[in-house]
Structure 1
């Protein structure tokens, strides 16, 4: 984090290399344990500019939704040990992908999204083999658990106006757009599996290069779709008794993308080193979010059409004393989200990272890492039209703060 992820596949300073490049395990001596804790604080504030309701003649009510971001605690742990002098074993636990946005229940975009959450927990046993003094190879097996939750409001008043009952009958019964809201929630979980591969090569005594690949992992998120519905007088109860609004089983297939990283570390002087990284992520796999229901209701489909990204990072490290190392990093992290398909669930835009960090030795066998990163997020525009929800139009002002601490222990 202090390096803005620069050099991540080549550094191999501690047991976290299990995740970044399993081949880096060959650089570690004895048994090592790294325990990390990160506090992530994303902020996303929407400003409305022309949003319209599902019934355009009726003004859309609601506020801007508050801050859709919130602080999250993300732990991680890694272990490394010798099997033989040339064969190393490692184990890692972390959360490689995650997402949470949550708006006020009565905001203008409530019919598009209220809460969106994805949690992943990954377990990765890994092996590394030292081919010779310059070349090491690594492989890992990934078992990943994923849990997702999506909620939004349903405008039963607008549905009544668009039904065979018609606006006059609905108005007479007091069923007006935006006054008879329900709520839909889809949630589920799944295990998925993948692998990682790594190569570490000492080009010259001062320069090391790492190449790391993490495979895609496909999750079939299986769970339930549940609905909270308003009380309507007869015969309007037919509006809340359809397959579209009845509790049932639901599932969605989500493929988390493969990544390829090429990193370098160069020792310029005994005190100064420079690090670089290029990471490609195959986000174009995420072309749509399709939820299938067990009761015959039509699929819920949101077009995503994400694009692949290439992230660039660089950093400098300064060994100030035998006990203190200082780090500073920069990264350009483009969004996979195209403007045309941006939704309030992921109102993402391009990011620039600035980060600072330090490593301090507290004994011959242990050290502490601290890091802070601020992500400057480009303002994002949105114009999202959905059936029964109207058009959400406006702009997002966002940023992210990340604070990380890590304990490393060799024994």
Structure 2
């Protein structure tokens, strides 16, 4: 198998899980799923704020821990619209959705009246897909998984009764694995790699009064060079896969409109325009995969409503722009596109010290076309349409120790 073909295979590997926000999914760590992200940096009610906005930890009056248990169900469908060359002869319709568990842990504790410490162990991105060996693009991917886990210690400093600032360190472990097969399913190839990289967070929190508060959050870029290899029948080549988690800036507001009702909003920017290409390093050579991604923007609106039964209902909606809409620049995996999110949930104080939140979010990635070309004598093109959706559901517990 020539290096030029290996490079084509790698291009699928590095574009894994590319919905609107590519491989960044705040639903795995931010824990504002019930409002589709609205108010994430301003709600500041539980220990999960150690991940969403460390500066707002100053609202947590006593030591608190939080546990999140989550299920992620993806519904990814591919319909072939006339693939040619090496991509011809596959299934007309392929289902690639999977079901996977997720979880996270958070802890916030006051050091004194002005300094607060937080710790978050959560994911910022990751997913899994399984097309099967009869997928038209099986030479690029049959099944794949991407996992990231972040350990985020942080500090918050209370400047005065209204303003707080925060700073945090990110240590992120990333691991990727992808399987692919030859046209006749006689030869299989696996690419994998992993790395640990570091970044940081900066945040601010301003409480105008008991009814209105605002939060701002910056998460730095994390540049992964995942070292690993490609291996298969009579093949073992060391390789390094470059995956960038971009800079992200988010701002949020929380506004109490009445004793029972609150409005929430968020706006975010992700610096995907830095990712013009992806570099793959092999022995004595390297290659660049053309990406040409653009920055993405999102806007979220949500609401809290308190019932007389002490349950609080929560809902929200989000629109997020796409980093790439050109079918010829789409990746032969889950392509990019605009995203709409709808979140619902409910929370209740079970005891004085224990609070429970139930949540569900429907993440719709819409329909997007792909025309992926593979250089070679057969003039091969993978041509099709994707329909993508993800369901997030889970439960979050906050316990005051």
TM-score, structure 1 as length reference: 0.85
How far has the Cα of 1:376 moved from its partner?
2.4
CA contact 1:224–1:250 (8 Å) conserved in 2 = yes
* SS at structure 2 position matched to 1:26: helix
Cα distance, 1:79–1:201 mapped onto 2, change above 3 Å: same
Per the TM alignment, residue 65 of structure 1 is displaced from its structure 2 partner at its CA by 5.9
> Aligned partners of 1:202, 1:383: CA distance in 2, in Å?
49
Is residue 286 from structure 1 mapped to residue 291 from structure 2 by the alignment?
no
What's the counterpart of residue 105 of structure 2?
77
Residue correspondence of structure 1 range 276-315 to structure 2 within 5 A? 276-294=265-283, 296=284, 298-315=285-302
* Contact 2:83–2:136 under 8 Å retained in 1: yes
Runs of 4+ in structure 1 off by over 4 angstroms are none
Instruction: Quote how far apart the aligned CAs of 1:186 are.
Output: 1.4
Larger Rg: 1
Say whether 1:151 aligns with 2:141: no
Residue 384 of structure 2 corresponds to which residue in structure 1?
Answer: 394
Say yes or no: does 1:24 pair with 2:14.
no
* Cα distance between partner residues in 1 of 2:92 and 2:185: 20
Q: How does 1:142-291 map to 2 (within 5 A)?
A: 142-154=170-182, 178-179=183-184, 181-228=186-233, 246-291=235-280
SS at 1:378 equivalent:
strand
Q: Cα–Cα, structure 1 residues 108 and 101, in superposed 2: closer, same or farther, change >3 Å?
A: same
* Alpha-carbon displacement from aligned partner over 1:215-250 (angstroms, at most 9, x marks no partner): 011111001111236xxxxxxxxxxxxxxxx31211
User: In 2, Cα distance between the equivalents of 1:381 and 1:179?
Assistant: 26
Aligned-pair distance for 1:29?
Answer: 1.3
1:381 equivalent to 2:369? Answer: yes
Distance 1:392 1:348 in 2: 16
Offset at residue 253 of structure 1 (A): 2.0
After superposition, the C-alpha distances for 1:355-400 in whole angstroms (9 at most, x for unaligned) are 1111111100001000111122211111111125811101112211
1:104 to 112, 132, 152: 132
Report how far residue 30 of structure 1 moved. 1.1
Q: 1:139 & 1:60 partners in 2: Cα distance? A: 52
SS of alignment partner, residue 150 of structure 1: strand
Are 2:393 and 1:403 aligned? Answer: yes
**What residue in structure 1 maps to residue 6 of structure 2?**
none
**CA distance in structure 1 between the aligned counterparts of 2:313 and 2:133, rounded to whole angstroms:** 44
Deviates more, 1:278-287 or 1:9-18: 278-287
Tell whether 2:333 aligns with 1:323: no
Distance of 1:113 and 1:222 partners within structure 2:
19
Match of 2:355? 367
How much has 1:300 moved relative to structure 2? Answer: 4.9
Residue 167 of structure 1 is matched in structure 2 by none
Partner of 1:36: 68
Deviation, 1:285, is 2.6
CA–CA separation in structure 2 for the residues paired with 1:404 and 1:306: 32
Greater displacement, 72-81 / 386-395: 386-395
Give a deviation string over 1:268-321, Cα, whole Å, max 9, x none.
111100000001011123222332112x3x435432222110111010101113
Q: How big is the shift at 1:140?
A: 0.7
- Give the secondary-structure state (helix, strand or coil) at the position aligned to 2:333: coil
Matches of 1:301 and 1:153, distance apart in 2: 22
CA contact (8 A) 1:112 1:386 kept: no
Unaligned runs of 5+ in 2: 1-32
Aligned CA distance change for structure 1 residues 268 and 180 (closer, same or farther; 3 Å): closer
Structure 1 pair 102/344, CA: closer, same or farther in 2 (3 Å)? farther
**Counterparts of 2:322 and 2:395 in 1: how far apart (Å)?**
26
Deviations 1:59-112 (CA, angstroms, capped at 9, x unpaired) = 921214632121111100000111001110010000111132221112211123
C-alpha change, 1:8 and 1:179, in structure 2 (3 Å) is closer
Contact 1:18 1:91 in 2 (8 A): yes
Where does residue 46 of structure 1 map in the other structure?
78
- RMSD over equivalenced CA pairs, Å: 1.7
Report if the CA contact (8 A) 1:306-1:338 is conserved.
no
1:9 has 2:9 as partner: no
Moved more, 360-369 or 277-286: 277-286
